[in-house]
Structure 1
């Protein structure tokens, strides 16, 4: 397959990348780079590989079974109590989780536009919500996909340009890919991995591949799409870490993106601030569009509702999630509190989703010859154990136990 053909295959995976490169990821990567320099770049290598492992399974499930992950969850259990508990977990955790992420997405994207224009982030938050709503209401998957792929490209160019302008140390970057855990860095390692492997993306991917491709014969295209897109998303995160590492002395504490953009000015001139602001806007807007889609596919699938993008029930779910995000802007919601809440929800949900996904991928009556092999199961088990550790640690940390 030629390079041109491979690039043409990119689509659903780019939506997954767009979803995990949100303001929370930008913030976590920035704080990590500023505080620990290049030392934790290796964390993103693990994150990229782990995300590819789980997302490939999710996409394969959707293409072979013709079902979304929510539908598969609802139909795999004979025991009604287990089925109802599963549905509750999906509707409650995914619905609430995507709504929490949505608030942070819109607040973060609006902050980027406010930095560029000087217009209130409240105004931009409402505008972002309206534009995202119009895009989703069209129900035209290809239009949404192209818009998000374009914004992922904008993010990549913005952050890569910032990193180049600052002039990082290539030798130090290379050493950053050697695994090591500096004192006090475990929380940020947890954050970097947790913001890359996102539970609702597994629901998003299983459904959106069906909008692009027709069945098992397209698994090869889907895998190329998944690998290229997630690697690109991971590289964006890495460039953010590199930018922050080059801009600050190790150990610097930064509390918000606006302050970071201001401190880039002496190093790279006004262009760095512009690039960074455009990048965080793109990060916020792409995630603000994909989170409602993921929530709608998960919820309608789990409840047995019509999952067509133009159905009233589908639109009602994503409209509610998007509305929560816009309302948080109008009410002056705290991005920090919202992000903490979203991390708790993700910490609870992700291990459950990962375990169920691997269970579903071993059901021969569902997937036939496309069930997981021993290597896929081994990789999935390793990733799941790490995810469980992350979930437990996140919950205990937020609870103040550790």
Structure 2
């Protein structure tokens, strides 16, 4: 029972990675344009993130150190710097999007222009990071994010033709009216969103925050194999709801309010209220996760004291880095940039950075100097190698497809 109650870290990581503001809109866009013909990408992404997050959690539990610390030590400062540059830029873009996502969710709830909520969102994120214990943060935010299960409830109430949906998912094809380029562009975007690098950095750093040891490897597996599939399930329900309600009506999603339409139609005002709570919790959790990941990666690379288990005065540069990230995010949003668009670009760029993240994790997970007898098994290495090939293909194809399709238009 204690282990089952300990899945909050995995839930928070999964919701922050799969169901942030960009994924809420991107999955709805995919459902409203492509039906369920891209559902297979989410499944592949879930398998991939489970595979590498499990490695990352095991490394943290056995070595007592976060993934980025070990990567820098094992591969050297130069390789670590390339990883840092790519992951930090993506983190910063995602922090910007998530702060804007909180503001958009509050606008949906209150009807007040979202720009007015941005300063409040920044202050709230910082106060939680500064004052709230890690365990409370992950439990409250992760569990409230489960309100997004209302997508599944609304879907059941809508009473779709399940056979047609299953056929659409199992026989993927480019729909008429859509180009193959756009199809594969969104496939890479969904894959990048599922395997965003900050997820493993946050997960492994959270394991250190929770002081996991070798005896907690089973706990790590429970977090991974419950939390991440749950995040994938929630993202699929968003796409299915859009495919059932928006696709037949010819409505292409361009705003957060349109994402909520299927829930309102299926479950009414109560379901809509629950959804808004879930969206606020998910975007707030993602903002916490990406802000902390930005601080984690910088502090771990440069060897600064870090972690919420330390008082802010004992990890001053770690906390200062996060303040700067939040200020930069607010400044970018003040220019009027669309936070949803920022996130959609960030998930595509994350696909480019994936090889720099996951190859080093695999190398460290096979190093007996760090792992002792708990190195990867043969089957895990074979599957990880297959995924590294997929990751490399997605990384190479991302920018050309973005240019050719005009970012999926």
- Give the TM-score taking structure 2 as reference length: 0.89
Once the two structures are superposed, residues 255-277 of structure 1 have per-residue CA deviations (whole angstroms, 9 ceiling, x without a partner) of: 22223435765665445544444
Aligned-partner Cα distance in 1 for 2:117–2:157? 28
- What is aligned with 2:125? 132
- What is aligned with 1:155? 148
Aligned residues: CA RMSD: 2.3
* Structure 1 residue 107 displacement after superposition: 1.5
- Aligned residue-pair number: 393
Aligned-partner Cα distance in 1 for 2:36–2:118? 33
- What is aligned with 1:348? 352
Once the two structures are superposed, residues 180-223 of structure 1 have per-residue CA deviations (whole angstroms, 9 ceiling, x without a partner) of: 23253222222222111111111111111122243111101110
1:365 equivalent in alignment to 2:396: no
Aligned-partner Cα distance in 2 for 1:38–1:400? 23
* Structure 1 residue 331 displacement after superposition: 2.9
Aligned-partner Cα distance in 2 for 1:401–1:24? 19
- What is aligned with 1:204? 202
How has the CA–CA distance of structure 1 residues 167 and 92 changed in structure 2, closer, same or farther, with 3 Å as cutoff?
same
2:389 to 375, 385, 388: 385
Q: Which runs of 5+ in 1 are unaligned?
A: 78-82
Once the two structures are superposed, residues 3-34 of structure 1 have per-residue CA deviations (whole angstroms, 9 ceiling, x without a partner) of: x3442121321221132121111111101111
* Structure 1 residue 341 displacement after superposition: 4.0
- What is aligned with 2:174? 182
- Give the TM-score taking structure 1 as reference length: 0.90
Q: How does 1:3-402 map to 2 (within 5 A)?
A: 4-20=1-17, 21-77=19-75, 83-138=76-131, 140-156=133-149, 158-183=150-175, 184=180, 185-250=183-248, 252-261=251-260, 269-271=268-270, 273-309=272-308, 310=312, 311-400=315-404
Aligned-partner Cα distance in 2 for 1:179–1:53? 25
Contact in 1 for aligned 2:30/2:239 (Cα 8 Å): yes
How has the CA–CA distance of structure 1 residues 169 and 323 changed in structure 2, closer, same or farther, with 3 Å as cutoff?
farther
Aligned-partner Cα distance in 2 for 1:153–1:268? 16
- Of residues 215-224 and 132-141 in structure 1, the stretch that sits farther from structure 2 once superposed is 132-141
Contact in 2 for aligned 1:104/1:338 (Cα 8 Å): yes
